[in-house]
């Protein structure tokens, strides 16, 4: 069953066409990669799914319902969350507080109730903290709970971004270059985490990534963009041997990847 359908999605910035007539189907509980050279339109594509940009034309259907015209927080409410290419954490806040922010969307608390220390609100806050701690344990950051987010090593900051994203219990998680700047050991453990999130948390994952070893190892299906156009799609084996993809992006060593 397809959880997400992208239909003929085009985004123009003045005279520049960032994505042109892109269509995709994303199966529920799959791991899908979107790859392509710099400037291919990958982040623009994510920005349209998350309602940061309104498409010039085309449609985005989540379980058959159009997301076009919604606000970013509404898209999040419907179950799509993302991480960013450039890490966006509240660096002065603690690791735990960053995860609590991700949960905010789901919590019923109202600031008046919080201010008055109403018992129901306090209980909800306590439960949220317990849950946030469990999420941090899940991503392997339990030793950093009270550390300022900005003090974490780089790979841990990327994990914290993922922790914050899964705190909203998304149906679809969009990861924008999750392995960027990671060393091979961090990348390996990220690969395991992505696999595990799909299996244990039942999340559908779509990732933009330049690390082709990771992409080929992890993806069920891959879409390739070049200059805003969809030039290929298929399983990792099809993509690594696709002549057009090799010419536009992967290079000749591609068939040895994965
Ligand atoms: N807000 C904007 N205004 C004008 N042009 C933009 C805007 N956002 C993106 N673009 C242009 O759209 C094209 C696609 O950019 P995009 O960032 O989506 O590519 P990308 O595939 O994510 O690249 P990278 O791998 O470098 O992140 C580029 O030519 C970029 O300059």
> What six digits make up the tokens of 60?
């985005």
Domains of the chain, CATH where assigned: 2-79+170-256 (3.40.50.300), 92-163 (no CATH)
Chain segment 8-67, per-residue pLDDT in tens: 999 999 999 999 999 999 999 999 999 999 999 999 999 999 999 999 999 999 999 999
CA pair distance 200, 64, nearest whole angstrom: 25
How many angstroms does the Cα of residue 16 sit away from the middle of ligand 1? 10
Please give the number of the atom of ligand 1 that sits closest to the Cα of 41. Answer: 18
Question: Which of 40, 56, 210, 231 for mutating ligand 1's site (highest number of atoms within 8 Å of CB)?
Answer: 40
Question: 47: Cβ below 6 Å to ligand 1?
Answer: no
How many angstroms does the Cα of residue 51 sit away from the middle of ligand 1? 15
Which residues have CB under 8 Å from 206's CB, separation 6+?
A: 4, 26, 31, 32, 33, 34, 46, 172, 173, 174, 175
**Average pLDDT taken over every residue of the chain:** 90
The owner of tokens 């950093």 is 144
Atom 7 of ligand 1, nearest CA residue? 13
Question: 18: Cβ below 6 Å to ligand 1?
Answer: yes
Question: Which of 10, 12, 16 for mutating ligand 1's site (highest number of atoms within 8 Å of CB)?
Answer: 16
Please give the number of the atom of ligand 1 that sits closest to the Cα of 45. Answer: 18
92 or 111, which is more confident?
92
Burial of 224 (0-12, 13-18, 19+ CB in 10 A): buried
**Percent of the chain at pLDDT above 70?**
91
pLDDT of residue 84: 87
Question: 157: Cβ below 6 Å to ligand 1?
Answer: no
Atom 9 of ligand 1, nearest CA residue? 44
Lowest mean pLDDT among 31-35, 102-106, 202-206, 213-217: 102-106
Please give the number of the atom of ligand 1 that sits closest to the Cα of 53. Answer: 1
> What six digits make up the tokens of 238?
């099809």
Whole-structure pTM value: 0.90
């Amino acid at each position: 069953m397809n959880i997400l359908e992208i239909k003929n999605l085009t985004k123009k910035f003045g005279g520049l066409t960032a994505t042109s007539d892109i269509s995709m189907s994303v199966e529920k509980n799959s791991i899908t990669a979107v790859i392509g050279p710099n400037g291919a339109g990958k982040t623009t594509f994510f920005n349209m799914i998350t309602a940061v940009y309104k498409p010039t034309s085309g449609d985005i259907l989540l379980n058959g319902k159009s997301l076009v015209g919604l606000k970013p927080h509404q898209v999040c409410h419907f179950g799509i969350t993302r991480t960013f290419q450039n890490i966006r954490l509240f660096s002065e806040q603690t690791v735990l507080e960053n995860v609590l922010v991700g949960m905010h969307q789901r919590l019923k608390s109202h600031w008046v109730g919080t201010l008055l220390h109403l018992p129901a609100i306090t209980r909800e806050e306590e439960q949220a903290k317990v849950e946030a701690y469990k999420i941090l344990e899940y991503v392997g950051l339990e030793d950093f709970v009270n550390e300022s987010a900005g003090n974490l090593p780089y790979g841990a900051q990327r994990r914290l971004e993922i922790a914050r994203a899964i705190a909203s219990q998304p149906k679809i998680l969009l990861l924008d270059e999750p392995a960027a700047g990671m060393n091979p050991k961090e990348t390996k453990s990220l690969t395991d985490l992505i696999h595990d999130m799909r299996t244990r948390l039942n999340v559908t994952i779509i990732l933009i990534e330049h690390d082709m070893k990771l992409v080929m190892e992890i993806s069920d299906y891959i879409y390739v963009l070049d200059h805003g156009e969809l030039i290929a799609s298929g399983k990792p084996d099809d993509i690594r041997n696709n002549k057009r993809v090799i010419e536009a992006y992967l290079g000749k060593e591609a068939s040895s990847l994965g």
